[in-house]
A = this chain, B = another copy of it.
Amino acid sequence: MQALMADRGLGAAIIASGLPQPRNFAHNPYPFRASSHFLYLLGAPLQGAVLCIGPEHATLYAEPPDPAQRVWTGPEPSLAELAEELGLEVRSVEQFQAPEQAACLAPVDALSTLWLSELLDRDLEPAHGEPEHAQDQVLADIMVELRLCHDAAAVEQLRQAALVSEAAHRTGMQATERCAFEFEVRAAMEAAVLRQGMTLAYQPIVTVHGEVLHNERHSNPLRPGDLLLADVGAETPEGWAADVTRTWPTSGRFSASQRDVYQVVLAAQQAAIACVRPGVRFLDVHRAALEELTNGLSSLGILRGPLAELLEHGVATAFFPHGVGHLLGLDVHDMEDLGDRAGYPPGRVRSSEPGLRFLRLDRDLEPGMLVTVEPGFYQIEPLLEQARADSRLGRFIDFQMLRRFADVRGIRIGDDVLVTASDPEVLSQRLPKSIEEVEALCAALD
């Protein structure tokens, strides 16, 4: 960190952990989640702490234990004990004085932002992407450089998160047949994460309406013939995330039409994973998925016309409107608080095209990067209406044929894929995804 700071002419950097946020009153907060930058540098989820990194050494400014709180929170380490444990200088946050020209990263929430503004005596806005000040941009770039590729210790954390997420999905598949509502499957999956001492990295998606891409409600009944889409990832106590998606039949058996589309999505995912290696541009991973999806939907008769034209017009994006994946690390969309700075290298910007607008990553891959690969197929009414009304696109879609696939509202298959010097390593590789394996697991007793 300090070498990078020296290299970029940055004298001092401030990274704050943040404050707990109230739910419905001040004493009923949401579970505290420290800033990912702070967790990356310090590894400890302290509340109300500020890490100040100078050219020579770093000082942590932390809240000293409050004797009046002892009854409520139990014994807390003294600042001296904290210094011993963390191996750096620790002072009381009351003694904090911001070094001149110190760079900082704005917290994501308004409360922590107000708090840090006061500590720094500097106006700050909650992080919305691009930092305003030049020195903050330099610091953001340094954090991206540090966090983009994971070291062995980070990979171990990410492996653990993936492992527990696998267990959650297995539990979900095995539990579904005796569940009547989405929230029952969600409960089983979340419990599988909690009972390993982990939490969820994001609000779980467990729904028979997978075509609603960020469906975070769980109140639909499960009906025979439905597909259940589950996008659930664990987070280790140290803050490292997984992001895994599977889709399975509520009755344990895919229908013929569901099998057909599932195979197409799976082939698209496999084609995309096969592209993940150093030097490959992530856009090409996305394109590999889109091409295979286009191919497959053509074979099924849902798309019609020459493949080259289908690709040229991006017809399949009507069924697959999101990006194939994103960076994964301490955040499930890693470093998204810094906008596209992590996902896009200097000089490359997001396309505004329908299929690429939501692509969160377009770097050249490097060993140690962890990406998700999670293509899907969705029947999203307004997108299909749009395509039907579009003289350029509509003729490529056989809406008559599409009706045969009415029981396929949404399918997504997603894994966490580590870029290595040779073949990519799928961290969630032990979790079944072939039709046979998924059906077997759905039928297995838990």
Contacts and interface: CB of A to CB of B under 8 A. Distances in A.
Q: How many copies does the complex hold?
A: 2
A28 B109 contact: no
A33 B398 CA distance: 43
Contact of A24 (B33, B126, B195): B33
A224 to B, nearest CB: 20
B108 A22 contact: yes
B203 A31 contact: yes
A41 interface: no
A74 interface: yes
Nearest to A32: B216
A187 interface: yes
Contact of A26 (B28, B128, B193): B128
B74 A212 contact: yes
B191 A127 contact: no
A247 B301 CA distance: 62
Residue from A24, A28, A128, A215 with most neighbouring chain B CB atoms (10 Å): A24
Contacts of A72: 212-214
Contacts of A380: 70-71
A321 B30 CA distance: 25
Contacts of A87: none
Contacts of A21: 21, 30, 109-110
Interface in A68-126: 70-75, 108-111, 113-114, 126
A25 B212 contact: no
Contacts of A70: 380, 382
Contacts of A237: 219
A433 interface: no
B25 A33 contact: no
Nearest to A202: B28
A133 interface: no
B24 A331 contact: yes
Contacts of A403: none
Interface stretch (A178-186, A253-261, A345-353): A178-186
A193 B183 CA distance: 10
A26 B194 contact: no
A230 interface: no
Given A110-B109, A337-B25, A197 B213 contact: no
A127 B26 contact: yes
A110 B108 contact: no
A68 to B, nearest CB: 10
A74 B113 CA distance: 32
Interface string A8-35: 0000000000000111111111110101
A321 B212 CA distance: 49
A190 interface: yes
Nearest to A69: B214
Nearest to A197: B183
A43 to B, nearest CB: 15
A25 B129 CA distance: 10
A243 to B, nearest CB: 11
Given A24-B33, A74-B215, A190-B194, 20 more contacts: A21-B30, A23-B33, A24-B330, A25-B127, A25-B333, A25-B337, A26-B128, A26-B337, A27-B333, A31-B203, A70-B382, A73-B215, A110-B110, A110-B111, A110-B113, A111-B126, A181-B197, A186-B194, A186-B195, A187-B194
A-B complex: 6 closest residue pairs judged by Cβ atoms: A74-B212, A191-B191, A187-B194, A187-B195, A110-B110, A110-B111
13 contacts: A21-B109, A21-B110, A22-B109, A23-B202, A24-B33, A24-B36, A28-B202, A67-B382, A70-B382, A71-B321, A110-B110, A183-B195, A190-B194
